[in-house]
Amino acid sequence: MAKQFHQVVWDDLLQDDCRQLLDLAVREDLGREHDWSTLSLIPESATGTVSIVARQEGVLAGSRIIDLMIDELELDIEVVYHLSDRSAMMPGDKLITLSGSVRDLLTTERIVLNFLGRLVGIATLTRTYVEKVQGTAAQVYDTRKTTPGWRRLEKYAVQCGGGTNHRTGLYEAVMLKDNHLAWYTQFTGKSAQLGDLVGIVRQFLIDQLGEANGSQRIIEIEVDRTEQLKQVLPSQPDIVLLDNMDCETLKKAVELRNELAPEVQLEASGGVNLQTIRGIAETGVERISVGALTHSAVNVDLGYDWG
């Protein structure tokens, strides 16, 4: 069975990231002062209700951030969820209702909408990509091309959209990319084959982590030519990243893998967009990594309506 990267879930680690981001968001909006616009007009005793409403079609993600915000900022607000994360939403759908202090509701409005709009945008774009590969063997993976500090949240949103998480950080798996290989050959003066490098890394992991843990770490190596793929397959890396190959070359790579090392997974990367992903998936690769899921997603428009 193919090894899989850790999949991000709504756990304590993610919630800790979120709390830190919430603190930064409050610092951005209030500094060490106050929301003078709200304080100047709204009595402290005023209460009210707002609904967060979808203005466009999408996939809900990150809704539980509101619970964390209420707790972290000690807000006088109660929340009712009408849809859960991963749910499809249509224009006009009421997603969440917030009731309580009008001052708190107004001061946190932009924070709420910024978080939700960003994460719903990622989940919605991911769902679009995933739908494009339905009926093939390929899964859609994210990358580390994320907003600094937001990685777990953004990868969680990818999950909500039906995508699959690639490694969360450098600590999780070995991924030998072109710059690793270029430095090794240029500055060590060694002419090791790609397959030899996989063996070197595998032994290093076992030496550092022990046999059980070291052998379970995913090893992925990047190639950009089928000649390199032929070199590396006998060493049995877990995944080979096929960088910027056209569909015909990808098909040849799949045939070569099937012949020499059928257990090795192939990941296509580069030149992937909504127009090309279906053709890439039909070549037979198991994984397609898409940086656009996180670096190019557009915030989804959400309303914050009284009543």
Q: What is the pLDDT of residues 278-304, one digit of tens each?
A: 999 999 999 999 999 999 999 999 999
Cα distance between residue 113 and residue 65, in whole Å? 11
Whether 245 is covered by a domain: the verdict is yes
- pLDDT < 70 stretches in the chain: 189-192
Whether 7 is covered by a domain: the verdict is no
Q: Are residues 278 and 184 in the same domain?
A: yes
Q: Are residues 179 and 223 in the same domain?
A: yes
Q: How many CB atoms lie within 10 A of CB 11?
A: 10
Whether 16 is covered by a domain: the verdict is yes
Check whether 144 is labelled as a binding-site residue. yes
Q: Are residues 148 and 232 in the same domain?
A: yes
Given 3-state DSSP classes, what are the helix, strand and coil percentages for the chain, each rounded to the nearest 5? 45, 20, 35
Check whether 167 is labelled as a binding-site residue. yes
Could you tell me if 302 and 63 are in contact, meaning their C-beta atoms sit under 8 angstroms apart?
Answer: no
**Structure tokens belonging to residue 48:** 């009210």
Check whether 230 is labelled as a binding-site residue. no
Whether 172 is covered by a domain: the verdict is yes
Helical (H) or strand (E) element with 221: strand 219-223
Whether 166 is covered by a domain: the verdict is yes
Q: Are residues 105 and 144 in the same domain?
A: no
Could you tell me if 67 and 108 are in contact, meaning their C-beta atoms sit under 8 angstroms apart?
Answer: no
Phi first, then psi, for residue 174 (nearest 5°) are -90, 130
Could you tell me if 251 and 283 are in contact, meaning their C-beta atoms sit under 8 angstroms apart?
Answer: yes
Q: Are residues 182 and 290 in the same domain?
A: yes
Cα distance between residue 145 and residue 231, in whole Å? 29
Nearest CA-CA partner of 65 in 100, 102, 114 = 114
Predicted pLDDT of residue 189 = 65
Predicted pLDDT of residue 190 = 63
Q: Are residues 80 and 32 in the same domain?
A: yes
Could you tell me if 58 and 124 are in contact, meaning their C-beta atoms sit under 8 angstroms apart?
Answer: yes
Cα distance between residue 291 and residue 240, in whole Å? 17
Q: Are residues 183 and 245 in the same domain?
A: yes
| Catalytic positions, written as ranges | 110, 145, 177, 222, 243
Phi first, then psi, for residue 176 (nearest 5°) are -85, 105
Cα distance between residue 170 and residue 230, in whole Å? 26
Could you tell me if 83 and 64 are in contact, meaning their C-beta atoms sit under 8 angstroms apart?
Answer: no
Q: Are residues 68 and 94 in the same domain?
A: yes
Q: Are residues 135 and 281 in the same domain?
A: yes
Q: Are residues 214 and 243 in the same domain?
A: yes
Q: Are residues 182 and 291 in the same domain?
A: yes
Predicted pLDDT of residue 95 = 98
Nearest CA-CA partner of 93 in 55, 61, 49 = 55
Whether 282 is covered by a domain: the verdict is yes
Q: At 105, which CATH number? A: 3.90.1170.20
Question: How many domains is the chain built from?
Answer: 2
What range does the domain containing 158 cover? 131-295
Could you please report the per-residue DSSP string of 128-196? HHHHHTTTSS-EEE--S---TT-HHHHHHHHHHTT-B---SSTTT-EEE-HHHHHHHHHHS-----HHH
- pTM (2 d.p.): 0.95
- Amino acid letter for position 194: L
Q: Tens digit of pLDDT for each residue in 58-79? A: 999 999 999 999 999 999 999 9
Predicted pLDDT of residue 21 = 97
Check whether 177 is labelled as a binding-site residue. yes
Q: Are residues 92 and 155 in the same domain?
A: no
Check whether 292 is labelled as a binding-site residue. yes
Q: At 174, which CATH number? A: 3.20.20.70
